[in-house]
Amino acid sequence: MTTPHSPTPRPSTADASADAQHGAVPAAFEAVPPLDGELCFDGAALEAASGDFGRMVRQAPAAVLKPGSADDVAVMVRYCRERGLKVAGRGQGHSTYGQAQVPAGLVVDLGSLDAVEIRDDTAVVQGGALWSTVVRASLPLGLTPPTFTDYLELSVGGTLSAGGLGGQIGHHGTQVDNVLELEVVTGEGELTTCSPTERPDLFRAVLGGLGQCAIITRATLALVPAPRSVRFYVLTFPSVAALTAREAELIKEGRFDYLIGQARLTPDGWIHFVEAASYDATAEDDARLTDGLGHTSAEVQDIAYFDFLNRIAPTMDLFKSIGEWQRPHPWYDSLLPASTVDEVVTETLAGLKPGSIGASAVILLYPILTAKCRTPLPVMPDEELVYLFSLLRTASPGADSAEEMVAANRAQYDATVAAGGTWYPIGSVPLTADDWVRHFGAFWPEFQEARHRYDPDGILTPGQRIF
């Protein structure tokens, strides 16, 4: 069973060294060999690669590669390595603190490598493909990736570099837990494949590895049978402790196919709720799913599976239309052990004012069973049950400044570490080299060794500021 989803059409560029280069060529890039894709030096391409969703850090690269093939990525990584130039992959640039930026170096814009092919019960996808494209290609065959981020317009390479946390984690783990094989370009410029059995050290260091050892050009993803519809519940609980206690029970039982929690500041104070989904359930299942949970209110709806996965898209469109999307996003994401989550979250929420988080802020609080997370990264606290606690702040007009929010993130990070937590490294926290060593913990020696082996000159992904 094969359904190819063609990559986005783009001009053929047989002689990239002459015709396909756009803008004045800096001296460092004068000797580039022919490429299948384009190497861009024009203002628009450099501008687009200079920022990100965070809108706080801006660093212009010297060049942007829009690869026509994985070979292009390998050629250009080797080229940059020989000249001491830094390189980073870029998916959708939805990181928030310069993670995909390369001052005066080369950004590899993977958006031009976006093909998706469904082969039996796997999806073979190029690194720049969006998750929305993957699921649109698999659903007609009755298949779906088992686990998603809440927003589908992120690149596969981008979320696999971070981890990919979502509400299906209680059954299927993270997105990186559902990768069967990767094709990557290492920091030496070698195009190679890795999997749990082939170069497992590289596989382990790339999944959730923040682009430090290789650029992902292709991933083979597991697929599972797709539900047709979803019965979707929003259930409100009176306190943080009531919410987390119920989430703990529900995720251990596996009662719902999807489970996340949120807290929201309203004019009447904090509300706490779970969003829970049961696949192919009907109203007849309501009693079995929700009786006795102790919730104070419930909203229920039936929704088509794709619309369920894509349900935050209208809110994102709203944020774009009112300007919130375009504002700085000093996001904070942490992973807290169950033993300290209530104390940290209750105290944190008590200290937040509307201005501390902004008009379109989202606060996530959802449970993760660490036994379901089989890859070493992202780093989780060492308990059976942990919680993602995210403060997705926006520096809206009248709210704290982006700088104040970043400073608050750093204080929150220190509180997280003191409580035995780790951070999910997609947000905006200034970390020192020592913080990073502590962050990786027991995995640090293996991660450091992989970095030295696969990127010996340390040219990959400087925006993460790890090495």
DSSP strands (E only) in 72-131: 87-90, 106-109, 116-119, 122-126
Give, for 244, the enclosing helix (H) or strand (E).
Answer: helix 240-253
Please say which residue, 421 or 463, places its beta carbon nearer to ligand FAD: 463
Q: Quote the least distance from Cβ 98 to ligand FAD, whole Å.
A: 9
* Count of CB atoms situated within 10 Å of the CB of 169: 26
What single-letter DSSP state applies at residue 285? G
DSSP strands (E only) in 179-330: 179-186, 191-194, 214-222, 224-225, 229-237, 258-266, 269-279, 297-304
Give, for 452, the enclosing helix (H) or strand (E).
Answer: helix 444-454
| Residues making contact with ligand FAD (CB under 6 A) | 52-53, 88-95, 99-100, 110, 127, 149-151, 154-155, 157-159, 161-166, 210-211, 215-216, 426, 461, 463-464
Give, for 156, the enclosing helix (H) or strand (E).
Answer: helix 156-162
Beta bridge mates, 108: 65, 89
Please say which residue, 295 or 333, places its beta carbon nearer to ligand FAD: 333
Please say which residue, 53 or 332, places its beta carbon nearer to ligand FAD: 53
Please say which residue, 182 or 223, places its beta carbon nearer to ligand FAD: 182
**C-alpha–C-alpha distance, residues 221 and 179, integer Å:** 5
Give, for 363, the enclosing helix (H) or strand (E).
Answer: strand 362-369
Query: Alpha carbon 183 to chain centroid distance?
Result: 19
**C-alpha–C-alpha distance, residues 302 and 229, integer Å:** 7
Q: Quote the least distance from Cβ 431 to ligand FAD, whole Å.
A: 14
Q: Quote the least distance from Cβ 214 to ligand FAD, whole Å.
A: 7
Q: Quote the least distance from Cβ 50 to ligand FAD, whole Å.
A: 13
Please say which residue, 61 or 157, places its beta carbon nearer to ligand FAD: 157
Please say which residue, 171 or 242, places its beta carbon nearer to ligand FAD: 171
Rounded (5°) CA angle 104-88-45: 60
Q: Quote the least distance from Cβ 57 to ligand FAD, whole Å.
A: 12
Q: Quote the least distance from Cβ 455 to ligand FAD, whole Å.
A: 11
Q: Quote the least distance from Cβ 129 to ligand FAD, whole Å.
A: 10
Please say which residue, 210 or 221, places its beta carbon nearer to ligand FAD: 210
